Structure 1
């Protein structure tokens, strides 16, 4: 081949190669235009579909506070550990480390992943503490990530547990106020679009899809100071008397607000791992009992309303027992001929029975029903019992006699407190409230009710009840220095399957303070005291006295019986006890 032919062949090959390269470059250019311009939106969408996610943005549940803003239930931000089972199932070598960090058994982790291996989401552990969340994050295991949530915390613990209640793992109310006002407290989560890395971690927030809406804050009527005080004294009394249980309630008589409500046994809502279901009950609201002699003031008030009795009307209780049909009613001892006031002071069953039998069944029933006995208190608290007050149409004489001293009917601690609040004011049984209520709101509610008793009868009965706490009465241990206290003791035999059980009692005390211008009502119930004494005046009355002494001081309620204060009587006699 000549030199000229070789040159032509070389140029041809070079042109061919250049042509191929040019065609390839043109193809790449066309493809680039296609990808970057024509198919940009489609391809961007495909990429986003792999890394762009819409995730829930939690909002905190509403805070619950006492009447002065002290927190009783708050939500704190925490992390929950979740996994993509499709990814984590392939990281078997990391399971042991992960299980150790989560403090769960490896077998449980494996069982969870295998059961959901075709899913893309599963919680491994909800609402973990910060230390655990950090340990898991540091492992950097593919398919494991954190999700922000909120955890409910109860600062007062078991002191307010029965009132406040608690929420479940999904932050829904399960007990108490948390359940009663769940719709108001519940939050509405938001949503945002984010970009996640291969480990499932959020690397960029793109946009907010929906704003999160926090729950509504709720202020309760509870005064945390009084709540602590009542809780401490009730717990000590239950332990001291080796009792099964106990309850105590304090009401503001003018508004119907619950200022304190405590129970024993209690539980810690922040740690429910070893919780007994029986401890969950708010016994002050759910558990009923026969109120015993604490009903006698209402029997006497009803008798005064007939116009045939007054405080000095004689009542013959000789010889200390009284036969009604085939049944015999007994007193603690023979009190002889006493007056109506002494029936209350000495807690005479015979005297109360005779007063009841002197009234028509309808009159007595209306007196009880008109103060709210036998019906719900209107509190709206979950699981509240309405008690029992049978219709008077079925009463025989023996029923009318026994109901006069609190047998054959049932009530709750809260219901009895509401009835005493009516006795302490103008005889109108205001609905009970766990939320703050103003005096004007209470006055408006009061117009819906008729007074159960006249002002004269109420004043007379409260005077008789003061004799219960004074020397010679059954409730002297409820006395508070410097204050006039009106109260009534109750010692009730417990009923069983075959009737009333021997040596099984409930001790009760209900009282009003100050007696001259009532502000507070408190009822204390101790179930099954097993100490040397089981009487209401010995077991329940001291709880009232200690709690009420602190409550009156904390609420700055002025004394109405200054001569009874230590040292004050001498000052008054000297004439130097007046204002300066």
Structure 2
């Protein structure tokens, strides 16, 4: 019985395991060794051979080099008053691939930005394949922070600068503007962009996989701010000149106007105003005409204001003296059998001073025909007309003078009294500055000078002094320029009234009213040119339209500059 039970138990035991074949064992062992070898080789490759490459790839996804905006230099007037400054702003941008698809969150974002949700979604769709798009540029830090406080994924910020112009439209055309990237586009902002812009810096930062700043590591290059630009203009005179010019343009319903005031001793431009103008801080709906700095880039036929300049050539020739008498009867003359020159009336015999006072075209014609064919034009060139003045202002006009070829009598005559050539207001002011400072031509400067320039002799000193006295007689009670008089100061100057031209020739009812003046005569400090473009109404003569502007501007300027009044009885009264 026991034997039977033992046999039954024995029969239920599993058969003993058979040993693996030697071939299968070796194959598995080889596979394990190869796998371990490949794994060790990959570890060595990653940590030794490709270490620098992989570390660079990792850093590229976490380390960033970010630019540091450079502060643009400030533009000031001659006394340090700011005319153009840069203020910190924030621009918001987004990674379209990270923006939340939820319209509720997007609605919160667009409301904070002042955008339309449908327009925003359409824009995100257009940029869906990119990783960058601007949300809004140049926001105030406070407004930008309100958007960032929403803590929406994919929304980021960058610090920038925005240009601000405290004087607004008063200095708009002279200063110019910058674009949204703070690059100069017009005026002095463009001319001196490389000097004002400075050099941006760089810094290395650590960011997470969502582009959020983790740590500021170190500075790679410091940002170098731009240089400050000090202009020659006096902001007090600029405001006053702009106010008076704007009022005159409105009063006479004119198309526009320009005014230039120069320092007679240095050639510095103390004021330069234009109409129309615009607000550089808000350029919505601006008039394109207001972008032009007419005083420098536009030219016009100057008319009778050129008579003192051409008369300087006559006085220097030795053939004429200030008291030389010229017969202007019968008040008209015909030249080249086709061209008739007329005075307002028959003035009879006039001295050279009388020719300027009466603004006699006949008198100037007789003088010009007595001189050499190129004498007057040569003098114009010596005074800087027909050539760039070298201010560096973008688009500076050089004006035009006739080519030195044979001229008819009528051409020589018209050049002498201001037709047949073109000048800018700044060129005209510069030429009158030569008379004011004893015959030295000073280059106009838009920047403040550290010392007075030597100048170039352009008119004999005695001739310049004679012209100054003759021009003083032009601005006296009873003359056509009497409205240019300034109470308490002796004033010299000349009016001009010029027909405007069109493609069909001179217009019958469109004029430019001009006045160029010097004050005070006893010790000239300022030279001012006023031009009003197409005044409408009964008054259009230079003595009625431009001369009163000169009187108000020059009077205020002399008082602001602390110029003592003249002790001359003719200066103590005004018309």
SS at match of 2:160: strand
> Could you tell me how far apart the structure 2 residues matched to 1:398 and 1:455 are?
30
1:303 match: 314
> Could you tell me how far apart the structure 1 residues matched to 2:54 and 2:374 are?
85
Determine if contact 1:57/1:192 at 8 Å carries over to the other structure. Answer: yes
Match of 1:533 among 532, 539, 548: 539
2:558 match: 552
> Could you tell me how far apart the structure 2 residues matched to 1:463 and 1:513 are?
12
> Could you tell me how far apart the structure 2 residues matched to 1:567 and 1:323 are?
41
Mapped pair 1:362 → 2:348? no
SS at match of 1:381: coil
> Could you tell me how far apart the structure 2 residues matched to 1:565 and 1:462 are?
15
1:12 match: none
The alpha-carbon distance between structure 1 residues 351 and 252, as it changes in their structure 2 partners (threshold 3 A), is: same
Determine if contact 2:522/2:566 at 8 Å carries over to the other structure. Answer: yes
Match of 2:98 among 82, 87, 98: 87
Rg (Cα) greater in structure: 2
Deviation for aligned residue 1:281: 0.5
Which deviations, in whole Å up to 9, do the C-alpha atoms of 1:47-104 show, x marking residues without a partner? 6544432211111111111111111111111100011122126455432222222222
> Could you tell me how far apart the structure 2 residues matched to 1:327 and 1:354 are?
15
SS at match of 1:392: coil
User: What TM-score, normalized by structure 1, do the two folds share?
Assistant: 0.87
Mapped pair 1:459 → 2:465? yes
Deviation for aligned residue 1:506: 0.2
Deviation for aligned residue 1:509: 0.2
> Could you tell me how far apart the structure 2 residues matched to 1:346 and 1:426 are?
24
> Could you tell me how far apart the structure 2 residues matched to 1:201 and 1:508 are?
63
Determine if contact 2:61/2:209 at 8 Å carries over to the other structure. Answer: no
Deviation for aligned residue 1:117: 2.0
Which deviates further from its counterpart, 48-57 or 131-140? 48-57
Determine if contact 1:91/1:142 at 8 Å carries over to the other structure. Answer: no
The alpha-carbon distance between structure 1 residues 394 and 106, as it changes in their structure 2 partners (threshold 3 A), is: farther
Mapped pair 1:228 → 2:239? yes
Which deviations, in whole Å up to 9, do the C-alpha atoms of 1:398-452 show, x marking residues without a partner? 0010111111111111111111111212323222111111334x12xx2xx3x22
> Could you tell me how far apart the structure 2 residues matched to 1:201 and 1:476 are?
73
SS at match of 2:363: helix
Match of 1:179 among 190, 209, 215: 190
2:485 match: 479
SS at match of 1:338: strand
Which deviates further from its counterpart, 82-91 or 380-389? 82-91
SS at match of 1:503: strand
Match of 1:208 among 211, 219, 225: 219
Determine if contact 2:356/2:474 at 8 Å carries over to the other structure. Answer: yes
Alignment of 1:49-448 (within 5 A): 49-88=60-99, 90=101, 92-196=103-207, 200-325=211-336, 326-440=338-452, 442-443=453-454, 446=455
Determine if contact 1:144/1:200 at 8 Å carries over to the other structure. Answer: no
Root-mean-square deviation (CA, aligned residues, Å) is 2.4
Which deviations, in whole Å up to 9, do the C-alpha atoms of 1:203-233 show, x marking residues without a partner? 4311111111111111111110110010000
Deviation for aligned residue 1:46: 6.2
Determine if contact 1:89/1:117 at 8 Å carries over to the other structure. Answer: no
Determine if contact 1:140/1:199 at 8 Å carries over to the other structure. Answer: no
> Could you tell me how far apart the structure 2 residues matched to 1:473 and 1:452 are?
29
SS at match of 1:421: helix
The alpha-carbon distance between structure 1 residues 563 and 254, as it changes in their structure 2 partners (threshold 3 A), is: same
2:519 match: 513
> Could you tell me how far apart the structure 2 residues matched to 1:290 and 1:430 are?
22
> Could you tell me how far apart the structure 2 residues matched to 1:394 and 1:251 are?
36
> Could you tell me how far apart the structure 2 residues matched to 1:548 and 1:68 are?
20
> Could you tell me how far apart the structure 2 residues matched to 1:541 and 1:224 are?
23
Which deviations, in whole Å up to 9, do the C-alpha atoms of 1:173-202 show, x marking residues without a partner? 001100010110112211112234566443
Determine if contact 2:480/2:543 at 8 Å carries over to the other structure. Answer: yes
> Could you tell me how far apart the structure 2 residues matched to 1:104 and 1:414 are?
46
Match of 1:502 among 508, 513, 522: 508
Which deviates further from its counterpart, 42-51 or 160-169? 42-51
> Could you tell me how far apart the structure 2 residues matched to 1:95 and 1:138 are?
14
> Could you tell me how far apart the structure 2 residues matched to 1:196 and 1:109 are?
27
> Could you tell me how far apart the structure 1 residues matched to 2:500 and 2:151 are?
62
> Could you tell me how far apart the structure 2 residues matched to 1:322 and 1:108 are?
72
Aligned residues: 531
SS at match of 2:405: helix
Which deviates further from its counterpart, 203-212 or 145-154? 203-212
Deviation for aligned residue 1:457: 1.2
> Could you tell me how far apart the structure 1 residues matched to 2:510 and 2:125 are?
56
